[in-house]
Structure 1
Amino acid sequence: MNSVLEPHLPPPNGKRIVVIGGGFAGIEFAKKLTSRDFQIVLLDKNNYHQFQPLFYQVATAGIEPSAISYPFRKLFQNKPNFHFRLAEVFHIDTVTHVLETSIGDITYDYLVLAMGAQTNFYGNPSLEKHTFPLKSTTESLVFRNSILKKFEDALLAKTYEERKKLLQFVVVGGGPTGVEVSGALAEMKKFILPKDYPEVDFDLMKIFLIEGSDRILSAMSPGSSSTAKSYLEKFGVEVFTNRTVAHYDGSVATLSDQSTIQTSTVIWAAGVKAVRIDGLRQEVYLPNNRIKVDPYNRVTGYDNIYVLGDQAVGVTAMPQVAQVAIQQAWRLAKNLNKGFDLAKWRLFKYHDMGTMATVGRNKAVAEIYGLKFSGFVAWFIWMFIHLISLLGFKNRLQTLINWAWNYFSYDQSLRLMINSHKEPTFLRSPSSKAFLQVASSQAKETKDGSRPSNERILATNP
């Protein structure tokens, strides 16, 4: 036990439950665990919860990052026996029940892993190096800066080909994130950016959506998928199915059919993998770092370790979406509130409440409890559900005001380039020798030789 750290965590009056990760699963579990027999310790590398479904709106200047973020300490300030620590967890010692973290060792009686997922580049280094993921607030801001910078650069482009490359956007992945990003970019092209850049020929701005399967939104019905595709095409988005991006060097995206697209921007929304933590037996890990759990969400072979959300795989595979994580968190918390008599516990059973995706103004698709909606009704349902899901009245009000302003004015007021003195190399012109020297020295400092992460470069997140 770390003699410096542990005094800052008061001795528990019962059992200590450590929760790693403050995403949907982590915060819902902590909120629903009401028994005073437990001390709850939440660990996260950020001091705030991020509402992931709206990252794309931050990226496309629809809402402010503060509107989708909420501090953990404020969320739980009135909860007894709760403690938050800003930390990263590196290793679990399952024998001594000790976590090795960035702030020292922390002991646990019970452990809940709710670390979520990260972008999956499927082992392709060119995609990892040059594409934009959207899995954090920081990455969303980096992308927002890049969009606006591309248009500033397009005004200065010396050749037609150079300007065309700057104004072509490729979105990879036809799930809800890819569809929503494509639709948001198309709305910016139609309603917003021409006001700011009247000198730009917007016929040059192209948006391509690339999907590896035979249709977009494959988790929804073929009818909803077809409707969403027609909405996108009416917005001018070119949808390619049965194709993937095999290689991207920062200038040319090469597809699986060997066709190419000249572009300086590729948004990667084509898959995720669970965040891996070391210390568990190798046999509990499944492909994409997911962990096998029993119907109580316990890790196979461990009596005091539970997994929730994107990291967990039960008897039947479930989608890596928020509603699964939330339902798992509720069930585990309710079970633990009853004590440790498994006879009183209920097995987890997933109830699919539906899926939805918005394409743009008055255009969305939704399937809720078997009912299918499209157009304005689906769009309104999407807005309402996402609005009430935000944490904090102020965040809901701020988002509602932004949405109302955008809707009635056909404009956005958040087109600000918030630059850092250190940006990823692919955001700067290759001609900047001084910057490349700095970037080179940064790259040498990383353990694996890859470019530093967006979080580390921008110093926005701890």
Structure 2
Amino acid sequence: MNVKDNAKFPKVVIIGGGFGGLQVAAKLKDKPVDVLMLDKHNYHTFQPLLYQVATGSLEAESIGFSLRKNFSSQKNFRFQIAEVSKVNPENNTIETTIGEVAYDYLVIATGSTTNFFGNKEIEKFALPMKSVPEALNLRYRILQSLEQATLLPNKDDREPYLSFVLVGAGPTGVELAGALAEIRNNILHKDYPELKKEDMKVYLVDFLPKVLGPMSDEASKGATRFLKDMGVEVMLGVKVDSYDGEEIKFEGGKSIRTKNVIWSAGVMGVIPDGVNKDLIVRGNKIKVDANCRIEGSENIFAIGDVAAMITDDTPKGHPGVAQVAIQQGKYVGETILQTLNGEANTPFKYNDKGSLATIGRNKAVADLGKIKFQGFFAWLIWMFVHLISLLGFRNKIIVFVNWIASYISFNGGSRLIIKRFEKDDAPKNKNELKDKV
């Protein structure tokens, strides 16, 4: 199809319904433009709470919200489920699974995916957590491992199923490690009386010398203390060498027998074909100018995790957090309107509102400008910020009720195995993997 042929107004095509894409579309509400959003899912995912889906604290539907429903009152907005394969800047079209789509302005807000840094073996066997399906797969793997452990006669046989190794000590790794530690400390003896708390091990591994690398030293030290108090073994300055589905090995000789390696050590941008490869920089991001336009383009923007705005103030680009995507989305919507009105564009300026990370019940760390603190108050702020940021009143209520129930009972969540976890026809051992790649 060619959706430009009957367009009355300039057409703005947004690829991606994440935090940035939502803001672009919202900024253009009731303006003289035709907005088309494309995404491979028909819902927006609130990624900061994916780890709670993975550990069974929340159901997937409570952190997702229909994109069509969210924009039901916006008359100049349309949505289609589609995957974009290529951008054709020379004729202002994109190639998608629903045909060719034309645009006057294009916003690439495709976000990021897990970066395995080219290690095909780890990619085969380790578990990522960047989407709802991946979070559900992780939930099933965790629960199936615990179920399997109850069937095994001795400690040595159970060890690989009760060892959980999280690679990457950023916010995702820290929050997931804390959630697994809470399962170990508060739930294991209730749901699985056959198992001992001491037999379940949670490891948090990173090649950097501290957890929560982008946050302050105070936050890092606080998070490390909380994790260790909860029984998590924190391994810093350690680099993963290999993982074959049975044993993870580290440089220096240390190894851990485990069926459960969760990979949160890095992300990379998701870029459709057709973008000038000379503009793709570290992290698989697209170089953009001070107006979030792809360098050399007048009408193609990139925002969020897929964009790299390299300046003297940001030599490595902006951090891969939701606030960057949100602010860039609002900015690009406004910039498109300014351009249509013949007005000058002011450069994008990121307003860092601070960082939060939770480690578990009553435990969180907060960097809010010059104010840095940890503990219960930081945990309350973390809950409030995430609750108000969720889309949909129903989702807010469901999440709040779940949190209250978990806090009171120490036993929240459903922890249902709806389907068996299967890892994409994963080979059973190293030799089979070598034959396949």
Is TM-score (shorter-chain normalized) higher than 0.5? Answer: yes
Q: Residues 127-146 of structure 1 correspond to what in structure 2 (within 5 A)?
A: 127-146=122-141
Q: Distance in 2 between matches of 1:426 and 1:160?
A: 29
> How far apart in 2 are the matches of 1:104 and 1:331?
29
Question: 3-state DSSP class of the match of 1:400?
Answer: helix
1:288 corresponding residue in structure 2? 283
Structure 1: how far apart are the matches of 2:391 and 2:203? 33
Alignment of structure 1 residues 56-455 onto 2, 5 Å: 56-314=51-309, 315=311, 316=314, 317-340=317-340, 343-419=343-419, 423-424=422-423
- For 1:411 and 1:200, the matched residues in 2 are separated by 17
CA distance, structure 2, for counterparts of residue 292 and residue 427 of structure 1: 35
Q: CA deviation at 1:425?
A: 5.5
Q: What secondary structure sits across from 1:338 in the alignment?
A: helix
SS at match of 1:346: coil
TM-score by length of 1: 0.89
- What whole-Å deviation, never above 9, does each CA across 1:55-97 have from its counterpart, x for those lacking one? 0000001111001000110001110111101000001111111
- Distance in 2 of aligned mates of 1:344 and 1:301: 18
| Counterpart secondary structure, 2:110 | coil
Q: Report which stretch shifted further, 330-339 or 197-206.
A: 330-339
- Cα deviation for residue 270 of structure 1 reads 0.5
Partner of 1:460: none
Deviations, residues 301-339 of structure 1 (Å, cap 9, x unaligned)? 111100010111112211111100111111111222334
Q: C-alpha displacement at 1:14, in angstroms?
A: 1.3
Q: Is the 8 A contact 2:30 2:76 kept in 1?
A: no
Aligned-partner Cα distance in 1 for 2:426–2:9? 51
Shift in alpha-carbon separation, 1:427–1:395, aligned structure 2, 3 A:
farther
SS class of match (1:133)? coil
Normalised by the length of structure 2, the TM-score is 0.94
Q: In structure 2, the residue corresponding to 1:288 is in which secondary structure?
A: coil
> What letter corresponds to residue 118 of structure 2 in structure 1?
G
C-alpha distance in structure 1 between counterparts of 2:203 and 2:122, whole Å = 16
Asked whether the 8 Å contact 2:202–2:233 carries over to 1, the reply is yes
3-state DSSP of counterpart to 2:399? helix
1:24 aligns with 2:23: no
SS at structure 1 position matched to 2:359? strand
C-alpha distance after superposition, 1:44-63 (max 9, x if no partner): 00000000111000000111
Partner SS, residue 340 of structure 2: coil
Post-superposition Cα deviations, 1:85-122, rounded to whole Å, max 9, x if no partner, equal 10000011111111110111111111000000000000
Q: Check conservation: 2:285, 2:306, Cα contact below 8 A.
A: yes
Please report how far the alpha carbon of residue 10 of structure 1 lies from its aligned counterpart in structure 2 after TM superposition. 7.7
The SS at the match of 1:218 is coil
Aligned-partner Cα distance in 2 for 1:228–1:174 = 10
Paired with 1:391 and 1:10, the residues of 2 have a C-alpha distance of 33
Q: 1:343 to 1:108 in 2, by over 3 A?
A: closer
Q: Give the equivalent residue in structure 2 for 1:49.
A: 44
Instruction: Give the distance between the partners of 1:152 and 1:167, measured in 2 at CA.
Output: 10
Amino acid at match of 1:390: L
Structure 2: gaps spanning 5 or more residues: none
Query: Structure 1 residues 342, 363: closer, same or farther in 2, change over 3 A?
Result: farther
Of 313-322 and 156-165, deviating more is 156-165
Matches of 2:196 and 2:186, distance apart in 1: 14
Judge conservation of contact 1:172–1:244 (CA < 8 Å) in 2: no
Partner of 2:388, secondary structure, is helix
- SS of residue in 1 equivalent to 2:326: helix
CA–CA separation in structure 2 for the residues paired with 1:383 and 1:284: 38
Give the residue type in structure 2 aligned to 1:294.
D
1:36 aligns to 2:35 (yes or no) = no
Equivalent residue letter for 2:422? E
Identity of aligned residues (%): 42
Q: Note the C-alpha offset of 1:282.
A: 2.1
Residue identity opposite 1:150 in structure 2: S
State the one-letter code of the partner of 2:409: S
Instruction: Please name the residue that 1:453 is paired with.
Output: none
Residues 146, 427 of structure 1: 8 Å contact kept: no
Deviation of 1:224 (Å)? 1.3
Report deviation, 1:257: 2.0
Aligned residue for 1:399, secondary structure, equals: helix
Task: Extract unaligned runs of 5+ from structure 1.
Answer: 432-439, 451-462
Displacement of 1:449: 6.0
Shift in Å at residue 383 of structure 1?
Answer: 0.4
Query: Could you tell me how far 1:342 is from its partner in structure 2?
Result: 6.4
| 1:435 aligned residue | none
Stretches (4+) displaced over 6 A: none
> Aligned-pair distance for 1:345?
2.2
Q: What are the Cα deviations for residues 383-427 of structure 1, in whole angstroms up to 9, with x where unaligned? A: 00000000000000000000000000111231100105x822679
